[in-house]
Amino acid sequence: MTLFDIIFQGTSDALSAAKSVVEKAVADKGKEHKVAFPDTAYSLPVIYAATGKKISNLGELQEAIAIVESLLVKEQRLENGLNAGLGTALAAEIIEAAKYSVEEAPYVAPLAGHISDPIIRSLGVPLVTGDIPGVAVVLGECPDAETAAKVIKDYQSKGLLTFLVGKVIDQATEANVKMGLDLRVIPLGYDVTSVIHVVSVAVRAALIFGGLEPGNLDGLLKYTLERVPAFVNAFGPLSELVVSAGAGAIALGFPVITDQDVMEVPTRLITQKDYDKFVATSLEARNIKIKITEIPIPVSFAAAFEGERIRKGD
């Protein structure tokens, strides 16, 4: 399969998943049932920023599926691949929104799920000052817990904000990686679609800090490319859906670094099999330069540990 066909397949998968999830929600709750993420003024932020449309009930959510369909043009061209990736992102937001609409608490601690506006506002200053030099999205499954911990702790020690999606969350737990917003390691959820909650952060950064006009898709993509220093690490076997989501990341300007064999795209989609070099490869791909003064002490030292609480047991 061509790279674009893999992406198109992933988008189709996301599309049909979104359709069935929303269909079921409508069947259970009716079209008028409320749809909203908690603590946000931006409705469904990705859809709102990309199209300017606010969605408030399941009927409107169902209509939004047409936007995803319109982004799926199966001609083999870069723009279609990137658009399909964006389509997957929108489909993911639709699925996640349906979760929040139907379930009382779709995510329970330590899983974060949707990130609220106040948290994004609190992240704004350190992002602008470079105190948070980058945003790492780590998803999938590392070969072992040790590798997962090494990569995540490395980002943590460099002050990056790291979001976890999928089995890597369990691996991090297993390896005793301490998580939480204060520690700049945030487990989002186990479903691939929960990755949208970090995209939502980037998108709201454009709306809040970039003063982006909702519906200005080109402006959004320019802002995220130039101003949001995020990248994706995709570990383990990649489903079509994950690749398609990766295309969405690339459309936003976020490179994807994976340990799997893929059709590489210079600076955008990179295979790195050496886990020891994963962090360095990622930082270079996103052009994140960190000035480090190494202090030879036996424990990790970084701003990310500022909010750490030492419990009795420790």
Partner 1 sequence: MEKTLLSIEQMEEINSLLKQKAVEAGAETWQDRKEAQKVSCKFGEEGVCCRICSMGPCRITPKAPRGICGANADTIAARNFARMVAAGAAAHSDHARDIAHVLHMSSENGSYKVKDKDKLYKLAGEWGVSTEGKDLYDVAHEVAEVALMEFGKPFGTLRFLDRAVDGRKETWEKEKVAPRAIDREIATIMHSTHIGCTAEAESLVRMGIRTGLSDGWGGSMIGTELTDILFGTPTPTQTESNLGVLEEDMVNIVLHGHDPSLSEMIVLASEDAELVAYAKEKGAKGINLAGLCCTANEVTMRHGVKMAGNFLQQENAVLTGAVEAVIVDVQCIFPAMAALADCFHTKFITTSPKAKIPGATHIEFDEHHAFDSAKGIVKEAIDNYANRDRAKVYIPDSKQTAMAGYSIEAIIKQLDLVTNSHVDKTGTVKPLADCIVSGVLRGAVGIVGCNNPKVRPDYSHIEIIKNMIANDVIVVATGCAAQAAAKAGLLDKEARNLAGQGLRTVCELVDIPPVLHMGSCVDISRIILLVNAVAKHLNMDIPKLPVVGIAPEWMSEKAVAIGNYVIGSGIDTFLGVYPQVTGSAEMVDLLTNRVEDIVGAKFTVEMDPAKLSEQVLERIEAKRTALGI
Cβ closest to partner 1, residue 5 vs residue 39: 5
Question: What does the alpha-carbon distance between residue 134 and residue 207 come to, in Å, rounded to a whole number?
Answer: 19
Cβ closest to partner 1, residue 174 vs residue 264: 264
Residue numbers 16-55 binding partner 1 by CB under 8 A: none
State which of residues 266, 296, 298, 313 lies at the interface with partner 1 (CB under 8 A).
266
**Residue 194: CB minimum distance to partner 1, A:** 27
Question: What does the alpha-carbon distance between residue 249 and residue 97 come to, in Å, rounded to a whole number?
Answer: 19
Closest CA relative to residue 132, chosen from 171, 109, 159, 105: 159
Question: What does the alpha-carbon distance between residue 230 and residue 232 come to, in Å, rounded to a whole number?
Answer: 7
- Classify residue 217 by burial, with Cβ atoms within 10 Å: 0-12, 13-18, 19+: middle
Residues 6+ apart with CB under 8 A from 287: 229
**Residue 151: CB minimum distance to partner 1, A:** 13
Backbone angles phi, psi at 180, to 5 degrees: 140, 160
270 binds partner 1 per the rule CB under 8 A: yes
Cβ closest to partner 1, residue 75 vs residue 314: 75
Half-sphere exposure of 178 (CA within 13 A, CB side): 14
Question: Does the bond joining 110 to the residue before it have cis omega, within 30 degrees of 0?
Answer: yes
Q: What tokens appear for 136 in the block?
A: 């790492």
Question: Are 282 and 257 a contacting pair, CB within 8 Å?
Answer: yes
264 binds partner 1 per the rule CB under 8 A: yes
Mask: binding to partner 1, 62-91, rule CB under 8 A, as x and -? --------------xxxx-xx---------
Cβ closest to partner 1, residue 80 vs residue 101: 80
**Residue 35: CB minimum distance to partner 1, A:** 33
Give the interface size with partner 1 as a residue count (CB under 8 A): 25
Cβ closest to partner 1, residue 44 vs residue 160: 160
**Residue 258: CB minimum distance to partner 1, A:** 11
**Residue 20: CB minimum distance to partner 1, A:** 30
292 binds partner 1 per the rule CB under 8 A: no
Q: What tokens appear for 235 in the block?
A: 């570990």
Residues 6+ apart with CB under 8 A from 48: 42, 54, 55, 207, 214
Q: What tokens appear for 97 in the block?
A: 């929104």
Listed in order, strand segments (DSSP E) in 67-165 are 135-140, 161-165
**Residue 82: CB minimum distance to partner 1, A:** 8
State which of residues 41, 125, 263, 292 lies at the interface with partner 1 (CB under 8 A).
263
Q: Which stretch binds partner 1 (CB under 8 A): 119-127, 222-230, 236-244, 270-278?
A: 270-278
Where does this chain bind partner 1 (CB under 8 A)? 1-4, 76-79, 81-82, 263-267, 269-272, 274, 277, 280-281, 284-285
